Copies of this chain bind each other. A is one copy, B any other.
Amino acid sequence: MSAIRHALSIKREDDFAKWYQEVISAADMAEESGVRGCMVIKPWGFGIWERMQRLLDDRIKAAGVQNAYFPLFIPLANFEREAAHVEGFAKEMAVVTHHRLIADGDGGLIPDPEAKLEEPLVVRPTSETIIGDAMSRWVQSWRDLPLKLNQWANVVRWEMRTRMFLRTSEFLWQEGHTAHADEAEARVETMRALEMYRAFAEEDAAIPVIAGEKPENERFPGARETWSIEAMMQDGKALQAGTSHYLGTSFAEAANIRYQNREGGQELCHTVSWGMSTRMVGGLIMTHGDDDGLRVPPALAPFQIVILPMLRGKPEDAALLDYCEGLHAGLAGQSALGEPLRVLLDTRPGKAAGKRWDWVRKGAPIILEVGSRDMENGVVSMLRRDALWNAETGKPAFQNPARETAIDTISSILSDMQSGLFAEARERRDANITREIDNMEGLAEFFGEDRRYPGWAEVQWSKPTGEGLKAVEEQLKALKLTFRNVPMNTPPADGTCIFTGAPAVERIYVARAY
């Protein structure tokens, strides 16, 4: 068994944070922009986000939700009217105060003092209040309900410490906003969106998640209930990958979203909001990446198959290109995972081996190298990103199927890879959850220094509120821990609360988190 020379310089087990940065750079996904807190999403990273958008948007439309677009700028007054919301959000936001620049007389530009806005505008951190304004105009009668809207947009939350995809001042997301006649229907929508996110994460992104309700202290500002899906990263930390909020009637009251019911009376709507962001790309990296770079699940790969002809700048290249174009055409006619295959014939200048490692680091699911020997034998040299190495030789595990065989079997290979990546992540996640902890010492030990990448603990607790909850938060904070969520469909509590010693009422996940 030979030593494998991995494609990255940093291994996950040595320094997970640095490894994460190296994947982003080595897979050419994103980079710092030079503008404070804002990143540039490069074509491969953006291509993955576009695939996420396409597949999630299909699910959104299938649920009868309509896309629309609302202003980037929100008047200050909107933030002033919903007390809990402003407290949660009125902190770090980009504020537009002027609408013109003028020369400073010294070769530079300054905001024109004559062009100061009467009321500053906030760059949206989220759009509940501005969409609420629209809903108050659009909803008149019970016939207008439910009103189910979604927008794909950029939002800004000024961040002091940023990390690409996970925490940036500007990020991309979708935000769903729905208005309903009553609480029951609004709760159904809250859970529908949560289930949509679970299905998207698990089926499309191959990321196993736990769906559950956030405790009171982790709720969206102003929400009655916040639900999330939580994914375990390879360092054991949790990533909140999507949220769905039941907002009750407080946002409707602030924005005056009322309707005439069937009996002619006026009632407040119950509203719901739900969102998923480019953070998911960070989750993808930390779930599927390995010491050779990213591995993109086939459903999300901008290109699922990359063909690399081994060109030599000689006349024989023409025949090789013909052979590869035949391969490309044959593959492009196939489907996988319910969509036409996405195949790239990469003829850029550069050596095939160098290009191979570029695509390995980017995580393209399948690489097909084709040299003149392959052509003569009617075969291709196939490398699966999920089975990259031959452990015995320490070399890349090329297979050499006949060209027609490769074309015929590629669809099932991609399906296998999609489910294989999910199964691998789920096994790792499940192996790193403990349900055995029944006191604070055990918790401290589980997350202690000697465990490099501890996972999650599902513990029983008494669900205190107010000061009691604050005290529990302090206990967690001392261990650098947070509550994740109260998972659905778990056995009822039967023990005592590890924080308060009182009888437990439910089970809740505790973890370090991004």
Contacts and interface: CB of A to CB of B under 8 A. Distances in A.
Interface stretch (A73-81, A229-237, A389-397, A398-406): A73-81
Contacts of A348: 143
A153 B79 CA distance: 25
23 contacts: A35-B74, A38-B72, A40-B71, A40-B134, A41-B70, A43-B68, A46-B69, A47-B66, A47-B67, A69-B172, A72-B123, A79-B101, A80-B107, A93-B100, A94-B99, A95-B98, A95-B100, A97-B98, A97-B111, A98-B120, A100-B158, A101-B122, A153-B154
Contacts of A120: 98, 110-111
Nearest to A108: B80
**Residue among A46, A50, A143 with most chain B CB within 10 A:** A46
Contacts of A47: 66-67
A64 B158 CA distance: 35
A407 interface: no
A241 B132 CA distance: 33
Contact of A43 (B35, B67, B109, B123): B67
Contacts of A123: 72, 96, 123
Interface string A134-158: 1001000001000001000110101
Interface in A23-42: 31, 33-36, 38-42
Nearest to A118: B36
Contacts of A121: 35-36, 94
Contacts of A102: 90
Contact of A76 (B109, B143, B149): B109
* Nearest 10 CB-CB pairings of A with B: A38-B71, A43-B66, A41-B69, A95-B98, A99-B158, A35-B71, A95-B111, A97-B97, A94-B96, A90-B101
Contact of A134 (B33, B98, B134): B33
A109 B90 contact: yes
A486 to B, nearest CB: 33
A364 to B, nearest CB: 15
B76 A108 contact: yes
Given A31-B137, A41-B70, A153-B154, 13 more contacts: A33-B71, A33-B133, A40-B68, A40-B71, A47-B67, A72-B170, A76-B109, A80-B109, A90-B101, A93-B99, A94-B98, A95-B98, A95-B100
A166 interface: no
A86 interface: yes
Interface of A: 31, 33-36, 38-43, 46-47, 49-50, 66-76, 79-80, 86, 90-103, 107-111, 120-123, 130, 133-134, 137, 143, 149, 153-154, 156, 158, 170, 172, 348-350
The number of times this chain is found in the oligomer is 2
A95 B96 contact: yes
Main SS class of interface, A: mixed
Contacts of A50: 67
A89 to B, nearest CB: 9
Nearest to A138: B42
Contact of A99 (B46, B71, B95): B95
A236 to B, nearest CB: 30
B70 A33 contact: yes
**Residue among A90, A109, A111 with most chain B CB within 10 A:** A109
A91 B101 contact: yes
Given A43-B68, A43-B149, A73 B143 contact: no
A66 B72 CA distance: 25
A163 to B, nearest CB: 16
Contacts of A130: 33, 35
B73 A38 contact: yes
A38 to B, nearest CB: 4
A58 to B, nearest CB: 12
Nearest to A34: B133
A170 B38 contact: no
Contacts of A33: 70-71, 130, 133-134
A133 B156 CA distance: 21
A217 to B, nearest CB: 22
A96 B50 CA distance: 28
A47 B67 CA distance: 7
A240 to B, nearest CB: 22
A161 to B, nearest CB: 14
A46 B71 contact: no
